[in-house]
């Protein structure tokens, strides 16, 4: 004959068993309906440097691998290169590469299909590119102009309609974008420029112009010889600043700060560029 204590113990065991069955069933349902997360794409690490009339870009292959660098990422398809001028607010697609042997549609930064809506066979995967202008599908890409600021970002894209953010442009420690300026660097044996083509950009300098963004407050002397002295004068003939240009490049930046460590005011200014054998006098305007 079964006692009341034994009956109570059996009831408790049945409750525990019933709870275990329910928990197991719910776990089964959860596992059956859960969707595995696809591997994600990593944005490539990007570096770029100026050349005469262009910019050279180099990036790594981290987007093509998963956590294990020896294992390929099946999500990855290719790279897209975007360029912006003056500010990072407006990107333009200038090149693309993929790992496919088939022709594909190419979608630009606005979501439009390039090449008149037709498929195109993109060049194979690479990890370097020199932007010197030209054409990309049905759009003309202007040649970068020495002395003007440019920004670049390289994205990785893949299945299905996945693309990394356009945010791997070079930055300062505080996150401020770093512009790159195409520059001619003189090498041994190169002809040295005279002063006839020296100019200031932008001219006039306007504080409301596209050239000035919140982290830009400068002008540039371009087409310089590898070494020269630049003297800047006010309209009244007072010396504002003297710049020693000895970088071996064809350009020199001025941050619009006088030799008295003050920002210069609006007005007409004269500059004198002088070498051992030549002198050029020019003028520029600052409008704040």
What are the pLDDT digits (tens) for 8-17?
555 555 455 4
CB 189, CB 62: distance < 8 Å: no
Residue closest to 51 by CA, chosen among 142, 143, 117: 143
Locate 283 and state its tokens.
């003028």
What residue spans of the chain are helical by DSSP H? 4-33
Residue closest to 81 by CA, chosen among 39, 116, 43, 42: 43
Residue closest to 155 by CA, chosen among 85, 66, 92: 92
pLDDT tens profile 197-247: 999 988 999 875 555 444 468 899 989 998 999 999 999 999 999 999 988
Q: What is the mean pLDDT of residues 93-114?
A: 88
pTM for the full model?
A: 0.69
| Cα separation, 156 vs 120, whole angstroms | 18
Query: What 3-state DSSP class applies to 197?
Result: coil
Number of Cβ within 10 Å of residue 118's Cβ equals 12
Query: What 3-state DSSP class applies to 125?
Result: coil
pLDDT tens profile 184-199: 887 755 556 689 999 9
Predicted local distance difference test score (pLDDT) of residue 41: 83
Predicted local distance difference test score (pLDDT) of residue 105: 87
CATH code for 199-287? 2.60.40.4070
Exposed, middle or buried: residue 154 (CB in 10 Å: 0-12, 13-18, 19+)?
A: buried
């Amino acid at each position: 004959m079964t006692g009341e204590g034994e009956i109570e113990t059996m009831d408790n065991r049945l409750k525990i068993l019933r709870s275990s069955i329910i928990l197991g069933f719910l776990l089964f349902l959860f596992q059956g309906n859960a969707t595995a997360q696809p591997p994600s794409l990593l944005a490539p690490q990007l570096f770029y440097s100026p050349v005469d009339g262009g910019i050279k870009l180099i990036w790594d292959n981290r987007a093509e691998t998963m956590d294990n660098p020896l294992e390929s990422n099946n999500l990855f398809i290719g790279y897209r290169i975007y360029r912006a001028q003056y500010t990072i607010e407006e990107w333009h697609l200038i090149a693309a590469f993929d790992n496919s042997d088939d022709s594909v549609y190419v979608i630009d930064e606005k979501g439009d299909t390039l090449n008149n809506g037709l498929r195109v066979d993109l060049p194979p995967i690479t990890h370097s590119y020199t932007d010197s202008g030209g054409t990309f599908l049905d759009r003309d890409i202007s040649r970068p102009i020495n002395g003007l600021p440019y920004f670049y970002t390289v994205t990785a894209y893949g299945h299905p309609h996945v693309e990394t953010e356009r945010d791997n442009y070079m930055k300062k420690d505080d996150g401020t974008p770093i512009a790159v300026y195409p520059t001619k660097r003189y090498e041994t044996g190169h002809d040295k420029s005279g002063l006839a083509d020296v100019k200031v950009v932008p001219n006039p300098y306007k504080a409301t112009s596209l050239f000035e963004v919140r982290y830009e407050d400068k002008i540039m002397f371009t087409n310089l010889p590898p070494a020269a002295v630049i003297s800047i004068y006010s309209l009244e003939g007072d010396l504002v600043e003297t710049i020693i240009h000895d970088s071996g490049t064809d350009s020199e930046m001025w941050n619009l700060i006088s030799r008295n460590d003050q920002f210069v005011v609006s007005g007409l200014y004269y500059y004198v560029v002088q070498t051992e054998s030549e002198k050029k006098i020019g003028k520029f305007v600052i409008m704040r």
